[in-house]
Amino acid sequence: MQELTGRLQALDPEASESLKVISYFDVLINGKVSVEALLRAAVTLTGCPCGYSPVSGKPIRLCPNGERTAQAFPAQQGGLAFTMDDGGRLWLEREGAEHANDALVLERLALAIGIAQGRLDEPRRNLNLALEEETAASDRATAIAALGLAPHGDYRILACYPEAELPEVSQQTILSTRYGLIRAGIDKNTGAALGQHSTPLGLGRIVQPGRLKDSWEAALVALLMASPSLPSVDATALGVAVHLIKLPVEALRLDPDVDGLASFFEQHSWAEETVAALCASSSLRAAANLLGLHHSTVQHRVAEIQQVLSIDPLTPSGVFRLNAARVALRLSQ
């Protein structure tokens, strides 16, 4: 496929881009991703809002910034629309002239959604319903019961990127988030050590089945906070900061601590890893060991953080502010 794409690029760039669209959806179909993940792929490919109104159930509309809104198919709007075989509607909301592959994107999206709906196995469908934001309370309760979990048992959600594997997890799925596709699974043996992992892994809080969605949100935040020096992050260590995922992105971006930290990260290549280590350590020397640096080097960096951000990462209040700003910054990106 890559060789063919390269040849077409030399002969006809437009045809080459069309082939990339087909290949992109083929990969998603093979990955058995959810309907929302397929819609998010269409948004990524076109750069404009995309919607799906099924024959029954809630419509889904995704914006380029990743936000999801429930909206029925609009009767009058710019862009393209596509009617599926079962009567469902797809649409792209493009302002201005239609792009060359808009029609192809909708066509492949319709095909992919039809395949996804026809082959999604029952356990994966139930896990999707248990974790997705828009699921009605009654449907969520039914899905959780169908997962066969002990009503008062302890569970947590683990999260990683789709290309990685979840350790010791039997029930898992791939969910679409505004941060991209994320693999999620239920950890039924919460007391066992997961061991060392070189790839990013987020551990949600331990909850009873009725609160699996809360554990999923915490696991997602933990995954986003993973770094080369800390590839596995437990949401419990993030404390109340995990709830920042519920705030609007615009509100997070306007916070002065978040804005200052964003600028600081842009100016210093070492800043992000150093701040992560300071937030995860009990002392400057422990942070230095985590980074594999001499403590005097880290002391120099701490002095710069204190001067530029007016935050002292060696005090409890300073660590709290710095960690909250770090989480908010990542969630706002």
User: What tokens were used for 250?
Assistant: 């615009």
DSSP assigned state of 231:
-
Average pLDDT taken over every residue of the chain: 85
Task: Give pLDDT, residue 244.
Answer: 95
pLDDT for the residue numbered 121: 65
- Of 98, 119, 140, which residue sits at a domain end? 119
Show the beta-strand stretches assigned E in the chain: 50-53, 60-62, 68-69, 80-83, 89-92, 156-160, 172-177, 180-187, 201-203, 232-234
User: Residue 293: which domain range?
Assistant: 249-331
Q: Are residues 164 and 231 in the same domain?
A: yes
What pLDDT is attached to residue 235? 95
Domain boundary among 212, 231, 246: 246
DSSP percent split of the chain into helix, strand, coil, nearest 5:
50, 15, 35
Tell me: do 256 and 306 sit in the same domain: yes
Query: Is the domain of 224 the same as that of 278?
Result: no
**Number of domains into which the chain is organized:** 3
For residue range 11-23, list pLDDT tens digits in order: 444 555 777 888 8
pTM comes to: 0.70
Question: What are 210-253's pLDDT values in tens digits?
Answer: 999 999 999 999 999 998 888 999 999 999 999 999 998 889 99
Q: What percent of the chain is predicted at pLDDT more than 70?
A: 90
Which among 246, 274, 294 is the end of a domain? 246
| 205 and 137 in a common domain | yes
- 217 and 258 in a single domain? The answer is no
Residues 107 and 27 in one domain: yes
> Can you tell me the distance from the alpha carbon of 221 to that of 209, in angstroms, rounded to the nearest whole number?
19
Q: What pLDDT score was predicted for residue 16? A: 59
Are residue 240 and residue 256 in the same domain, yes or no?
Answer: no
Looking at the fold, whether 115 and 11 belong to one and the same domain comes out as yes
Asked if residue 197 has pLDDT above 80, the reply is no
pLDDT per residue as tens digits for the range 144-176? 999 988 889 999 999 998 878 887 787 888 887
Same structural domain for residues 274 and 320?
A: yes
List pLDDT tens digits, range 38-89: 888 899 889 898 999 887 777 888 888 777 776 666 655 667 888 887 778 8
